[in-house]
Amino acid sequence: MPLWKQLAISIALLFIGLCSWVYFSPGAGQALVSMGVPQSVVGLVAATPEAEGHDGQRAQAGGQGGAQGQGQGQGNRRGGGNQPILVATEAVAIGVVNDRLSAIGDGEAVEAVTVMPQTSGMLDEILVSSGQKVSKGDIIARLDREEQVILRDQAAVALRSAKEKAESYRNLQSFSRLDVLDAQIAEEQAQLQLTTAELNLKRRDIVAPIDGIIGIVGVSVGDNVTNSTPIVSLDNRSQLLVDFWAPERFAAAVTPGMPVEARSVSRPGQVFQGSIEAVDSRVDQASRTIRIRAKIDNPDDVLRAGMSFNVVMRFPGDQYAAVNPLAVQWDGEGSFVWQIVDNKSVKTRVTIVQRNSDQILVDASLKEGDVVAVEGLQRVREGGTVEIAGAPQEDPEEVAAR
């Protein structure tokens, strides 16, 4: 933009500003006249004296009205300080915590073993089938046993020979006492060899170590097995053990023998009764939980090892005051509520124990039925008078009489 245009715009803006100053400022015209500006020029822009007089009157009236309004506002505020503060209240209830424990656990048979041979050999016969119920000592399978039978018979023959020799030495007087003692020792050794041979023969029978139900048989006749080969699984599921983990706050509350309820996902709506079998001796440092084992009855044999259970336990619990979440306020010293006593507000300190969606449990000097403010708390002060919303109004004459 050319320089002359910039100068023209600047002069125009200055002129407009000067005219505005003369027009809106009552003393601007007199100041210009005193500086030598002709009165006729100033009169073209400045307001007439009559208008200035009217404006001055309006300004004076406005100032008096503003002062009067300010005084009235201050008076109203002074009078409002003695007026009761309208608040909404709720009664304190009682809530219970740590009264119920619910956890997920896995079930296992009260007795469960995997049956293996005590020696190596070839399976000669299998005497059970999957799902069969057996008793302790029943034979499940047999290994080949011809060699062990021969060794047993040989030991029996050797024992008879040793017995006859020892008997002859004792009856004949021609043998020394030492010879008789050697014959007796040989007899005892022969007896031990026979016992060993019978034991080895007996170990060719694979027997059930407990009462239970046979699982799936994983071997066939003719298989060569060792003492680490699983033959069958055997479960005693008349009762099931359920292991679950509980928060550490229940470590001292749970003791053996306490009743429990268990629900299985596979049996909806059915509750199985049981009791605590054992409580672990230490708390897991990583999860801050403790392992608990429960035993539940399975009289109808509808439960199986490996099922998941929802275990529920009930306790007396700890009781605390329950207040509306809106009632809890905070200041520099911590949390508190406004307790309403005889239409007076009292600041009561509280310690939050548990937060729920509809109430907060607090540790405080509150009892059931006490009234706390939940709305209108911004203007409430210690010892101030409050008016409870929805409460019946008292007769002013009765109040004056009191």
CATH of the domain at 154: 1.10.287
Domain final position from 137, 172, 203: 203
Residue 398 pLDDT greater than 60, yes or no: no
Residue 319: partners with Cβ closer than 8 Å, 6 or more residues away: 94, 95, 96
Residue 308 pLDDT greater than 80, yes or no: yes
Query: Does any domain span residue 278?
Result: no
Query: Does any domain span residue 230?
Result: no
- When pLDDT is cut at 50, 70 and 90, the band that residue 393 belongs to is low
Residue 76 pLDDT greater than 80, yes or no: no
Query: Does any domain span residue 19?
Result: yes
pTM over 0.85: no
Average pLDDT, the chain: 82
Query: Does any domain span residue 252?
Result: no
99-141 residue pLDDT tens: 888 999 999 999 999 999 999 999 999 999 998 999 999 999 9
Residue 356 pLDDT greater than 80, yes or no: yes
Per the CB < 8 A criterion, the answer to whether 347 and 382 are in contact is yes
pLDDT of residue 44: 64
Domain final position from 203, 237, 253: 203
Share of the chain above pLDDT 90, in %: 44
Query: Does any domain span residue 125?
Result: no
9-25 residue pLDDT tens: 888 787 787 777 666 66
Distance of alpha carbon 241 from alpha carbon 250, whole angstroms: 20
Residue 295 pLDDT greater than 50, yes or no: yes
Structural domain boundaries enclosing 329: 87-94+319-388
Q: Which residues of 228-256 are buried (b: 16+ CB within 10 A; e: fewer)?
A: eeebbbbbbbebbbbbbbbeeebbeebee
Rg (CA), the chain: 51
CATH code of the domain in which 324 resides: 2.40.420.20
Higher pLDDT, 65 or 95: 95
Query: Does any domain span residue 77?
Result: no
pLDDT of residue 38: 66
Query: Does any domain span residue 182?
Result: yes
HEC sequence for 40-72: HHHHHHCCCHHHHHHHHHHHHHHHHHHHHHHHH
Query: Does any domain span residue 358?
Result: yes
pLDDT of residue 35: 66
SS3 331: strand
Domain final position from 168, 203, 238: 203
Q: How many domains does the chain have?
A: 3
Residue 52 pLDDT greater than 60, yes or no: no
pLDDT of residue 48: 43
pLDDT of residue 164: 84
